[in-house]
Amino acid sequence: MSEIFVSTHPLVLHELSILRDRDTPPPAFRAALHRISLLLLQSATVDLPTRKVIVQTPLESAEGLTLDARVGFAPILRAGLGMVNAALEILPEAEVWHLGFYRDETTLQPVRYYSPLGEQPLPEVMYVLDPMLATGGSAVAAIRELKLHGAQQVKFVGVLAAPEGIARVREAYPDVALYLAAVDRALNEHGYILPGLGDAGDRQFGTA
């Protein structure tokens, strides 16, 4: 089954408390999401493939390592946008492939409204970015699209997850590792994570 990495880093937990607080305004929410994304992505990229290189220092030659794979990020619109700048800070040359899904509030199923995926082959390693893994519908739909278009390895990086969302991803794609700040108690009847932090998109962009 897929591995689940839940951070215990004190800085991650500090930023998570800021994100949960209902009184955190959008600018502070965006800043905390950026910082927590940096920390989570450092863990999620620890096993990227590398190859040996020889570099010339000012004094002599030295053996080093360089990345040996194309890497891409797939933020799920719109909440995933808040994680993109952090991702590009860590990997400035990575590609960004936005995926747009909205949740049908009646069925709680994802509906795709935007995808740039086509003939161009995807990077070998793709990271799905979404602060919330609630029902798991959007995550599963995004992973399906990436794999259908040639991604060899897919990982999910998020802030909060509900057990229901984790179970759905693990059942559909047992090879996809999950990197999270916390696993919360459950979903409510509207598909929101409890205790959660509310709607991550609304809280980022002040549209609650």
Distance between CA atoms of 193 and 59, rounded to whole angstroms?
55
**pLDDT over 80 at 105, yes or no:** no
Task: State the pLDDT at residue 60.
Answer: 97
Which one of 70, 78, 103, 170 is the catalytic residue?
103
Task: State the pLDDT at residue 106.
Answer: 77
Which one of 20, 35, 78, 199 is the catalytic residue?
199
Which one of 68, 107, 175, 185 is the catalytic residue?
107
- 115: amino acid identity, one letter: S
Catalytic residue list contains 199 = yes
Question: Domain locations in the chain?
Answer: 4-205
| Residues 73 and 94: beta-carbon distance below 8 Å | yes
**pLDDT over 70 at 1, yes or no:** no
Catalytic residue list contains 202 = yes
**pLDDT over 90 at 115, yes or no:** no
Distance between CA atoms of 15 and 129, rounded to whole angstroms?
17
Give per-residue pLDDT as tens, 126-165.
Answer: 999 999 999 999 999 999 999 999 899 999 999 999 999 9
Give per-residue pLDDT as tens, 47-91.
Answer: 999 999 999 999 999 999 999 999 999 999 999 999 999 999 999
Q: How far is CA 141 from the centre of its chain?
A: 14
Q: Could you give the dihedral angle defined by the CA atoms of residues 109, 178, 133 and 76, in that order, rounded to the nearest 10 degrees? A: -70
| Residues 126 and 73: beta-carbon distance below 8 Å | yes
Give per-residue pLDDT as tens, 173-206.
Answer: 999 999 999 999 999 998 899 999 999 999 999 9
Catalytic residue list contains 168 = no
Distance between CA atoms of 107 and 190, rounded to whole angstroms?
10
Give per-residue pLDDT as tens, 9-47.
Answer: 999 999 999 999 999 999 999 999 999 999 999 999 999
Distance between CA atoms of 142 and 77, rounded to whole angstroms?
11
Catalytic residue list contains 51 = no
CATH label, 4-205, candidates 1.10.3720.10, 3.40.50.2020, 1.10.10.60, 3.30.465.10: 3.40.50.2020
- 132: amino acid identity, one letter: M
